[in-house]
Structure 1
Amino acid sequence: MTANGITGKNKTTPVSLLAGMAIASPVALNIFAPIMPELAVRFNTSPFTIQLGFTLYLFTLAVGQLISGPLADRYGRRPVLLWGFALHIAGCVLGIMAAEVWQLLLARVLQAAGGCTGMLLARSIILDQHGKDRAAGMLGYITLGIATAQAIAPTLGGYLNLAGGWQTVFWLSMALGSVVWLGALFRLPESDNHSAATGFLNSFKRYNTVLSSPSYIWYALSSTMIASGFFIFITSAPFVVAKHLQGSAVDYGNWFLLVAGGFWLGSLTAGKISARTGTDQMIKLGNSISGVASLAMLIMFMTAPPAYLSLFLPMALFTFGRGLSQPNAQAAAISSTSGAKATATGMQGFFQLMIGSMMAQLTPLLMLMGLTVLPLVLIAMVVLAAYFYHKGAQSSLEAS
């Protein structure tokens, strides 16, 4: 066994470990949503304060992705991942022991600061070890794992809360993070492409290249608006279920499967028809479907008392549209940059999480004016997405 804790012959990382690295943080993010109403009661605080547990997680993921990539390029994948998941586990422990709301919020920040390393580095490690051609198929499995985790995490969180209390969601995240940490310790080889000779701050200069492309910025913002719609819903819907529908965390988790299924089906459809339909048409089609879904939710809320179907069914259609538009908008953004593809991907994730976290925290405050604010904000997100797409397409034509 070498100093790195692995044998010299073991040069590749098991797919199961890579999948665990990638899903640990999405699970910790989404499993928290169904217990938010109960936490507001248990900690005797406002829904706005508890929603910070979701918003701060997104914010920390956004910043963490910008920092973790250059750190891994400078110091190597393995040490950054090990330190990152140690931080994630520490956050889980703090969450379990939290007696005051500030401790709970700090726990969420620590979870995200550490867990973001797995989300970012799983893809980098695959590319390091397998090259572009073989990596494509493996990345498909990783994406499927993330989609599955996002689909079942809220439902699982609801049932765990029912069976053992809200601390169980932190216990589960700690168990998953510990398995990943041990797996990385014994099965993750170090990459050979990091350079200690390269200045750490110089790694960030590649962001200038990405941001110098106007079409990249517009396309990335278009994708961000639709993603923000999802974040807005997931922070608002648990309180709608608890307050307006007198439902539980389990009810929210069960109905959320419709929303996750919509995104899954949309992504699957995009994968099958995008090549022959074209990026531009897919973005337009996806945005149109999301817009129709938002309008349908508004009409339902205005014409009848709130119900599970009027809340979750239109959102399932919204996320189906997102599944069609988002991968194409992301591809359009990244392809509009010259080089620095990985940096462009990280910057796009930063846009989505940063703006999405702000919108997710603001919308529940606006909803104090009425339930119809939720679909109105979703409509605004779609309108902005369409506008930013138009600007991106226009910039792309001017550049050519």
Structure 2
Amino acid sequence: MKTASIHPSSSLMTLLSAMALTSPLALNLFVPAMPDAARSLGVDINTIQLTFTSYLLMLAVGQLISGPLADFFGRRPVLLWGLALHIIGSALAAVAQDISFLVAGRVLQALGGSTAMSLARTVIVDLYGRQGAAGKMGYMVMAIAIAQSIAPTLGGFLNLWYGWNATLLLPIVIGSVVMAATFKWLPETCEQKSDNLRLGRVLGQYGNVLTSSEYLGYALSTTFIATAFYMFVGSSPYIVIDLFGGNSAQFGSWFLAVSLAFMAGSFLSTRLAKWLNIDRMVMLGNSLSLFGAGLLLLFALEAKLSMFTLFLPMALVTFGRGFSQPNAQSGAIACASGSAGTASGLMGFIQLLTGGLMAQITPWLMQQGLVVLMSSILAAPVLAIICHSYSWHRRSAKATHA
């Protein structure tokens, strides 16, 4: 079906948002249970961290693969197969009795979920174009924020009441519902499919996308802001439980502030899109994130970290991310005309590979002290601003000479 014959509707946006939140929901449900899962399985913090890191890395690899597949086969069939794999992985992780099976289940869960994350963004650009997608992407990011706000709280109580395995059952239900809805209601939005899937051509597509300095500026900007969030998620459960003496339910409840701030920023970005262009929205969001990260470091330097001073400054970081992420993502994808699926998948790969690597070294950063950890979180929005400023300058220079 050609894009021109598709009439975007609110119900279709709801479905796309549900697709996008499936994998973040599965990722964050398990986070509050990680310390208890480590004790139950008899492993240390570095080993249990693999369940988080492997998830992020496979999200990265999966998006790298799903982009070219969707450009060749179309968005719809690749989405359906990805959701099926997500359900299978969720089931394997839910019944795991040792760390090997748990990690294997998380790998399959993430590999399938990556398809929904990447291609939901691609379908929006298919339907609405570059500038129109920026506002719509905000609704999707807001849906992800809702999932992230609910998941840690729900996961914390499920872990407290029923054990850590319970946090892996809900993704089976969510994934099944989204898959059924996708099968029934999602049309094909790829107007012109790729004519071959040879490795050389796929690598050539990625090479063409990577040669765009504008694309890299947007992609790296959203990558670094996401990295700050992944470092926080990878460290805060242990800070709350081991340093503050809290439990998984308390962590989940306080984490609501972080996720609700992300949701609020995403919602406001959809409203401000009428008055501010993509680049001004990205700069506004990155600046807010920088201020929040600076407060985190200040409280760490003053040895005044508490539940309040840990979660509320991070809420400001994610509030800014709600502004910057949807705009940076739509800007990056639109830079690769004719290869939207490839561009979206590559952006997801860059973001999640970087986030996964940083999440795995987060325990080491914690061993160096909270000041080092918070300094690393502060470095993320600084780098995001530098990358976006370069891309913005390149776009402005092109517009001047046009």
Same fold by TM-score greater than 0.5? yes
Residues 1:299 and 2:298 are matched in the alignment: yes
Tell me by how many angstroms 1:138 deviates: 7.0
Tell me by how many angstroms 1:307 deviates: 1.0
Of the three residues 97, 104, 114, the one matched with 1:106 is 104
Instruction: Give the match for residue 71 of structure 1.
Output: 69
Deviation larger for 370-379 or 196-205:
196-205
Tell me by how many angstroms 1:347 deviates: 2.1
Report the residue type matching 1:180 in the other structure.
V
The 8 Å contact of residues 286 and 324 in structure 1, kept in 2 or not, is answered as: yes
Report the residue type matching 1:222 in the other structure.
S
Residues 1:270 and 2:269 are matched in the alignment: yes
Instruction: Give the match for residue 5 of structure 2.
Output: none
Tell me by how many angstroms 1:391 deviates: 2.9
Instruction: Give the match for residue 344 of structure 1.
Output: 343
Q: Deviations over 1:104-123 (max 9, x none)?
A: 11111000111122223345
Change (3 A) 1:135 1:314: closer
The 8 Å contact of residues 122 and 344 in structure 2, kept in 1 or not, is answered as: no
Tell me by how many angstroms 1:28 deviates: 0.5
* TM-score normalised by structure 1 residue count: 0.86
Instruction: Give the match for residue 361 of structure 2.
Output: 362
Tell me by how many angstroms 1:55 deviates: 1.3
Of the three residues 22, 25, 42, the one matched with 2:23 is 25
Instruction: Give the match for residue 235 of structure 1.
Output: 234
Deviation larger for 301-310 or 194-203:
194-203
Tell me by how many angstroms 1:280 deviates: 4.1
The 8 Å contact of residues 73 and 193 in structure 1, kept in 2 or not, is answered as: no
Deviation larger for 234-243 or 368-377:
368-377
- Tell me, in whole angstroms, the C-alpha distance in 2 between the residues paired with 1:186 and 1:285: 39
Residues 1:87 and 2:85 are matched in the alignment: yes
The 8 Å contact of residues 33 and 154 in structure 1, kept in 2 or not, is answered as: yes
Instruction: Give the match for residue 6 of structure 1.
Output: none
Report the residue type matching 2:172 in the other structure.
M
- Tell me, in whole angstroms, the C-alpha distance in 2 between the residues paired with 1:265 and 1:68: 30
Report the residue type matching 1:28 in the other structure.
A
Q: CA RMSD in A?
A: 3.0
- Tell me, in whole angstroms, the C-alpha distance in 2 between the residues paired with 1:305 and 1:139: 37
Name the SS for the 1:198 alignment partner: coil
Q: Deviations over 1:121-159 (max 9, x none)?
A: 34555677x676998887665444322112211111111
Change (3 A) 1:238 1:138: same
Tell me by how many angstroms 1:62 deviates: 1.2
Report the residue type matching 1:298 in the other structure.
L
Change (3 A) 1:35 1:209: same
- Tell me, in whole angstroms, the C-alpha distance in 2 between the residues paired with 1:188 and 1:30: 26
Report the residue type matching 1:369 in the other structure.
Q
Residues 1:160 and 2:141 are matched in the alignment: no
Change (3 A) 1:239 1:275: same
Change (3 A) 1:306 1:277: same
Q: Deviations over 1:40-81 (max 9, x none)?
A: 111111112111211111111111112112223333444433
Instruction: Give the match for residue 9 of structure 1.
Output: none
Tell me by how many angstroms 1:204 deviates: 4.9
- Tell me, in whole angstroms, the C-alpha distance in 2 between the residues paired with 1:305 and 1:138: 40
The 8 Å contact of residues 220 and 330 in structure 1, kept in 2 or not, is answered as: yes
The 8 Å contact of residues 32 and 157 in structure 1, kept in 2 or not, is answered as: yes
Name the SS for the 2:370 alignment partner: coil
Of the three residues 94, 97, 105, the one matched with 1:96 is 94
The 8 Å contact of residues 297 and 310 in structure 1, kept in 2 or not, is answered as: yes
- Tell me, in whole angstroms, the C-alpha distance in 2 between the residues paired with 1:280 and 1:216: 13
Change (3 A) 1:72 1:394: closer
Report the residue type matching 2:221 in the other structure.
S
- Tell me, in whole angstroms, the C-alpha distance in 2 between the residues paired with 1:32 and 1:216: 33
Tell me by how many angstroms 1:229 deviates: 0.4
- Tell me, in whole angstroms, the C-alpha distance in 1 between the residues paired with 2:312 and 2:135: 32
- Tell me, in whole angstroms, the C-alpha distance in 2 between the residues paired with 1:187 and 1:326: 27
Report the residue type matching 1:290 in the other structure.
S
The 8 Å contact of residues 134 and 331 in structure 2, kept in 1 or not, is answered as: no
- Tell me, in whole angstroms, the C-alpha distance in 1 between the residues paired with 2:150 and 2:258: 11
Instruction: Give the match for residue 36 of structure 1.
Output: 34
Name the SS for the 1:59 alignment partner: helix
Instruction: Give the number of equivalent residue pairs.
Output: 389
- Tell me, in whole angstroms, the C-alpha distance in 2 between the residues paired with 1:137 and 1:393: 19
- Tell me, in whole angstroms, the C-alpha distance in 2 between the residues paired with 1:197 and 1:225: 34
Name the SS for the 2:49 alignment partner: helix
Q: Name the % identity.
A: 45
Instruction: Give the match for residue 208 of structure 1.
Output: 207
Change (3 A) 1:19 1:164: same
Deviation larger for 223-232 or 179-188:
179-188
Report the residue type matching 1:370 in the other structure.
G
The 8 Å contact of residues 290 and 317 in structure 2, kept in 1 or not, is answered as: yes
- Tell me, in whole angstroms, the C-alpha distance in 1 between the residues paired with 2:165 and 2:75: 31
Q: Deviations over 1:165-189 (max 9, x none)?
A: 1111111111222233344455556
Name the SS for the 2:169 alignment partner: helix
Tell me by how many angstroms 1:289 deviates: 2.3
Residues 1:57 and 2:49 are matched in the alignment: no
Change (3 A) 1:278 1:214: same
| 5+ long unaligned stretches in structure 2 | 1-8
- Tell me, in whole angstroms, the C-alpha distance in 2 between the residues paired with 1:367 and 1:137: 37
Change (3 A) 1:142 1:271: closer
The 8 Å contact of residues 219 and 329 in structure 2, kept in 1 or not, is answered as: yes
